[in-house]
Structure formats: structure tokens, C-alpha cells
């Protein structure tokens, strides 16, 4: 809180100094060559002329959820995420959330926790929404992500223990690394291995009017692209440290994060608004995974993984305590 106040008063911290002060963590730094190795593999997957990101974007457009089918697909994804979570986590009896579709935001989805085990989840429709975002957002913002995290903290810490300070969520704090890390890791906890592809192939692809036969192909490519996730951190670090301009940050995301221009520009808007918060998504996920696996919650022991995951959601932790 002290660091955040100093920043609001005009003090400038480097990207890593800021993330350490606010989130109790410093994400690893990678050279351009780290990302180039993965780009070389994608180059072979999408051969041709012109920028690689354009060839990848042209392919990915075949997996956009039509606007008129968006809510149907999302509601089906939410129902599946809740069913899988409720089978392992004891949820408050009257918990629920509502979904709104909004525009003109720097983020793709947001959970506004209302208290009383209720959330408002907003989905940004500024740009086309791809099929993978249905499960991603349903898990991340809902079950077993932010909605469940906030509900369990309210249940166990506020109502049962009377710790009223946990009725306030300080966004720019170490709590957010735990929140974002568990929300992202919760996707693979709820849909481990090939279960996600199998579910989407039989349920979500048909609802979206997409060819189910291409589900495996889609997620094979997305697994490669996901290995570029830390490129976003590098762009933010260089941009916020003043090493590159806004235009250069956008171009860097296009080249090394495989982010089309419009989405790259939106991402830089996110850097402006939330700054080093970006490390909470990928580095937070990695810390949460390592912590849970170190306690026996490995992929081949799903029940133990769910137990450790629920315990982490229900208790106050610092990121340094996960290492």
C-alpha cells in the first residue's frame, strides 16, 4: 500500500522494483532469442510470405465465435466449469454471477465481486472472440477462478473468522498474484490434459458453428503460442522502463508475442492502466502450479490437486510463501 501511494504521488519505480513492491514477486527476464526459437517452429507451421503474425491471424480467424452465438457458447462453458468445480469444491449455497457484454476496455474479461457470494463478470467484445476464450474466461473469471476465490475468502475469512479486512480487495497487492495465478492454473485443473479438447469438440465447437474436426489442430497450435506468454512481460518491462515507445511496444508484441496489431495496441493500453500487474497472469500461474505440485497435487493425482487448490483459494498467502 505504501508503494502504491508513492506511485500515485509521482514516484517512478522500474518494472521489477514495482512488481516486487506491489506483488512480492519479480518475473524472469528472457532475451529475444528465447521467443525466436518458438517463432521458428511456428514459421514451419505457417509457411508463406509476409509477417508470421498475419499468416497466424488469418488461420485463427476460422475459430471466431459468431457474435449471435457468443452468449450460448459462454453459458455452456460456464455450466461445465461450475459442474467440474462443484464436484470437488464446497461452494456457498447461494453463490452465483451474472455476465455482461461490454466494449471499450483494455482487458478481455473482468470479475467485479459484489460480496454476498455474487459476482458481475464482464466480457469485452471490442475484438473478435476466439473459441478458446469461452473456457478460459468461464474458468478464469468464474469457476474455479476469481468468483470462487472471492467467495471462499468471504466464507472462510470474513464470515467464519470475522476478519473484516478481507472484505476489501486491494487490487495492486500480492493478493492479485495469487488470484490471477490460481485463476489461470484453474483452467487446467478443471479441464486436464485432453479433456478440454474432447469437451470442446463435442460441445462448444458445434454450438459456435465451428468444425469439431479442427479442435485438436487448434489446440496444438495454441499450445505452441502459449509458450510465448512471457513476451508480454518483456514488452511491458521495456515500455514501462522507457526503453521503447508505445509504437515499438506494439510492434514488439506483433513480432514476438504473435499478437495482431489491434490486439497488440489494446495490450499496450493495458500496460498503461495496470503496469507490472501483467506478471500475475503467467508468473503467478507458474508459481501456483509449482507450489501445488510440490505438495503432491500433480496431474496424475487430480483429487489431491483439487484439495491443494481449494486450500490455496481459501487462505491468505503471499507469493514469497509459494516458493
pLDDT in tens, 45-78: 999 999 999 999 999 999 999 999 999 999 999 9
Average pLDDT for the chain = 96
The answer to whether 146 and 81 have CB atoms below 8 angstroms apart is: no
Cα 85 to Cα 88, 150, 253, distances in angstroms: 6, 14, 34
The owner of cell 481459501 is: 314
CB within 8 Å of 162: residues ≥ 6 apart = none
How do strand 118-124 and strand 96-102 relate by DSSP bridges? parallel
Report the number of distinct structural domains present in the chain.
1
| pLDDT given for residue 323 in this prediction | 80
| Range(s) of the domain holding residue 227 | 2-322
DSSP for 26-80, please give it. Answer: ------HHHHHHHHHHHHHHS-SSS-HHHHHHHHHGGGBPPGGGHHHHHHHHHHH
| pLDDT given for residue 233 in this prediction | 97
pLDDT in tens, 133-178: 999 999 999 999 999 999 999 999 999 999 999 999 999 999 999 9
Amino acid at each position: 500500500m505504501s508503494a502504491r501511494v508513492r506511485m500515485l504521488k509521482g514516484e517512478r519505480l522500474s518494472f521489477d522494483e514495482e512488481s516486487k513492491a506491489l506483488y512480492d514477486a519479480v518475473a524472469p527476464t528472457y532475451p529475444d532469442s528465447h521467443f525466436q526459437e518458438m517463432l521458428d517452429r511456428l514459421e514451419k507451421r505457417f509457411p508463406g510470405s509476409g509477417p508470421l503474425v498475419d499468416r497466424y491471424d488469418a488461420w485463427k480467424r476460422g475459430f471466431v465465435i459468431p457474435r449471435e452465438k457468443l452468449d450460448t457458447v459462454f453459458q455452456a462453458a460456464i455450466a461445465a466449469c461450475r459442474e467440474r468445480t462443484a464436484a470437488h469444491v464446497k461452494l456457498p449455497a447461494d453463490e452465483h454471477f451474472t455476465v455482461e457484454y461490454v466494449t471499450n476496455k483494455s482487458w478481455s474479461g473482468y470479475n467485479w465481486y459484489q460480496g454476498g457470494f455474487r459476482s458481475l463478470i464482464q466480457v469485452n467484445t471490442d475484438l473478435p472472440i476466439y473459441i478458446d476464450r469461452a473456457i478460459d474466461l468461464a474458468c478464469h473469471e468464474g469457476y474455479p477462478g476469481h468468483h470462487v476465490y472471492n467467495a471462499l475468502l468471504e466464507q472462510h475469512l470474513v464470515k467464519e473468522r470475522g476478519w473484516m479486512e478481507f472484505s476489501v480487495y486491494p487490487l495492486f497487492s500480492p493478493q492479485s498474484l495469487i488470484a490471477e495465478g490460481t485463476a489461470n492454473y484453474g483452467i487446467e485443473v478443471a479441464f486436464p490434459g485432453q479433456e478440454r479438447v474432447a469437451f470442446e469438440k463435442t460441445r462448444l465447437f458445434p454450438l459456435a458453428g465451428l468444425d469439431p474436426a479442427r479442435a485438436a489442430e487448434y489446440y496444438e497450435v495454441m499450445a505452441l503460442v502459449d509458450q510465448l506468454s512471457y513476451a508480454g512481460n518483456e514488452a511491458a518491462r521495456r515500455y514501462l522502463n522507457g526503453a521503447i515507445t508505445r509504437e515499438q511496444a506494439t510492434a514488439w508484441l506483433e513480432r514476438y508475442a504473435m499478437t495482431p496489431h489491434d490486439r497488440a495496441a489494446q495490450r499496450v493500453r493495458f500496460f498503461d492502466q495496470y503496469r507490472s500487474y501483467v506478471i500475475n497472469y503467467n508468473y503467478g500461474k507458474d508459481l501456483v502450479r509449482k507450489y501445488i505440485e510440490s505438495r503432491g497435487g500433480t496431474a496424475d493425482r487430480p483429487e489431491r490437486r483439487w484439495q491443494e487448490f481449494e486450500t490455496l483459494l481459501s487462505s491468505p498467502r503471499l507469493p514469497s510463501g509459494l516458493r
